[in-house]
Chain A
Amino acid sequence: MAELNTGGDGGKGGKVRSKKSNPGVDLTAMVDLAFLLITFFMLTTTLSKPQSMPLAMPDKNQEDQPKDNLPVPERRMMTILIGKDNKLLWYMGKFEAPIVPPTEAAYGKNSIRKDIIKNTAIAKADTDKPDEGLIVNIKASDVANYRNLIDILDEMAINKVQLYAIGDITPAEIDLLKKTGLY
């Protein structure tokens, strides 16, 4: 294909690549470049597709709410309050009488993930059904940022938390955050 027919077979100059000993055009550089571009386009086309996290919010409309709400066992209920400066506060059970008192934590595998794993064990101990686990209520305060919310939702996905929802923070919980200096 890409060989110049120079007539005659001198056999000198350039690399001899075919059985015919006429000097061929050196394609190495061109092919190198072609493969480089292929690699570039291959990687960019697959990497540029954005990831997405599906999020289902609880229905807010009053008339759609089920009449017979199933009570949630306290020991399976974890609440996470997102405060400022990438810090958060969590407790287990009811706000008035928590089973595990509010504890400050940070994001990542060494802090909140360990707590979630511990709490999942508490929740699992409370029930004998294998598919029931921890229920997490995520409450972000006004000083939180979007990254914090995504980090916590990501944590839910990493730990395969059975049920989680984003709720509205109560004034009492904001006071608690203020007291701990996270608001």
Chain B
Amino acid sequence: MTAMCDVAFLLLSFFVMTATAKQPEPKPVDTPVSTVIDKLPEEGVATITIGDKQVFFTLPRAVREGTLQRISKKYNVPFTAEEYKKFVGMDGFGVPLNQLKGLLALSIADRNKPNVQKGIPYDSINDQLSDWVKEAREAEKEVLDERIAAGDKDVKYKDLDIAIKGDAKEDYPTVKRVIDILQKQKKNKFFLVTGLRNEDF
């Protein structure tokens, strides 16, 4: 009994430690289901979430700072060191750039309240999504270049993986528009996030 109890608690501690708490998302979406059982790569994937015609962007942690620096330079919007820190800690976001400062000032709980974030503009006049994706890819390249220059032999150059996480009920034109944005910058390969199909299809 003692041995079993020990093993049970050892395993329990292991699973509790390895389990990652689900991060609150600004836009919870109901992804469509498929029979494909490939898993999404765990790290280094930027996710574009689409729901209710709104678009949200989640960057991998490693490139967050670099991406914001580039965006800040491009749009000429300076951010303080404190804001950079908060941006690195923030998972997904969906606000136009001029509201990003305001969003960073909010508490984590307030950020994910409904109607606080209304999506990144992605129309042809004000295509901020395209810039975010582009700068994230550039930032990823920079991070990898640095690691290669530092003599890290295990690093291979690869483009930033992009995943599209669309709501099942989303209209096709909205998804198409996002795909077009990616294709315009020659990003022709990406992932579509799906759930596991349970019912007999």
Binding site for B on A (CB under 8 A): 1-2, 17, 27, 30-31, 34-35, 37-38, 41-42, 44-45, 47-61, 82, 107-109, 140-151, 153-154, 157-158, 166
Contact = CB atoms under 8 A, between A and B. Distances in A.
Given A42-B15, A49-B40, A59-B186, 18 more contacts: A31-B1, A31-B4, A41-B16, A52-B38, A52-B194, A53-B191, A57-B183, A58-B188, A142-B171, A144-B171, A145-B170, A146-B166, A146-B167, A146-B172, A146-B175, A147-B32, A157-B36, A158-B35
Contact of B5 (A31, A47, A145): A31
A53 B38 CA distance: 7
A34 B170 contact: no
B19 A45 contact: yes
B124 interface: no
Given A57-B179, A146-B166, A157-B34, A35 B40 contact: no
A166 B178 CA distance: 14
B37 interface: yes
Contacts, number: 155
B75 interface: no
Interface of B: 1-2, 4-6, 8-9, 11-12, 15-16, 18-19, 22, 31-40, 42, 50, 163, 165-173, 175-176, 179, 182-184, 186, 188-197, 200-201
22 contacts: A1-B2, A27-B5, A50-B165, A50-B194, A51-B39, A51-B194, A52-B193, A53-B34, A53-B36, A53-B193, A54-B189, A54-B190, A54-B191, A140-B176, A141-B172, A144-B171, A144-B172, A145-B171, A146-B170, A150-B192, A151-B201, A154-B201
Contact of A53 (B1, B42, B192): B192
B188 A56 contact: yes
Contacts of A42: 15
B44 to A, nearest CB: 13
Which of A54, A56, A157 has the most chain B CB atoms closer than 10 A to its own CB?
A54
A31 B193 CA distance: 38
A108 B42 CA distance: 31
A53 B40 CA distance: 8
B201 A109 contact: yes
Contact of A38 (B1, B15, B168, B197): B15
A58 B188 CA distance: 7
Of all A-B residue pairs in the complex, the 10 with the closest CB atoms, nearest first, are A41-B15, A34-B8, A52-B40, A147-B168, A150-B32, A52-B191, A144-B172, A154-B34, A147-B32, A146-B170
Contacts of A109: 200-201
Contacts of B2: 1-2, 27
Contacts of A54: 38, 189-192
Contacts of B179: 57, 166
A38 B6 CA distance: 13
Contact of A145 (B6, B22, B168): B168
